[in-house]
């Protein structure tokens, strides 16, 4: 038995559509024996080269990243103290 991996008519990977077939079975259309590598956001198959590649744009990948965390209360206090010390040392006026 072997796993085969499905892609659509535009060669985009169809996650969750993998099936197992007998080793000597004919591979159906829109399937291949090559497993997409882990870590691809939008895997696309190149049947001519027999490889999967990343088709997601940098902007798409960045849009999936979580926003940076908000600073903690301690970090905010550290910043305020740092700003006050800077003002004192540079002769700035504290309001």
- pLDDT confidence of residue 91: 79
The string of pLDDT tens digits covering residues 4-27 is 999 999 999 999 999 999 999 999
Q: Give yes or no for a contact between 41 and 56, defined as CB atoms under 8 angstroms apart.
A: yes
Mean pLDDT of 77-92: 88
- pLDDT confidence of residue 92: 64
The torsion angles phi and psi of 93, rounded to 5 degrees, stand at -90, 130
- pLDDT confidence of residue 33: 96
- pLDDT confidence of residue 50: 95
The string of pLDDT tens digits covering residues 49-77 is 999 999 999 999 999 999 889 999 999 99
**Secondary structure in 3-state letters for 29-86:** CCEECCCCCCCCCCEEEECCCCEEEECCCHHHHHHCCCCCCCCCHHHHHHHHHHHHHH
């Amino acid at each position: 038995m072997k796993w085969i991996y499905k892609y659509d008519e535009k060669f985009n990977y169809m996650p969750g559509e993998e099936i197992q077939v007998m080793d000597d079975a004919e591979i159906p259309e829109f399937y291949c024996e090559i497993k997409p590598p882990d870590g691809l956001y939008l895997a696309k198959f190149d049947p001519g080269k027999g490889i999967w590649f990343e088709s997601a744009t940098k902007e798409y990948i960045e849009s999936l990243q979580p926003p940076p965390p908000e600073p903690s209360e301690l970090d905010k206090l550290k910043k305020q103290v740092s700003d006050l010390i800077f003002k004192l040392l540079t002769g700035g006026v504290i309001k």
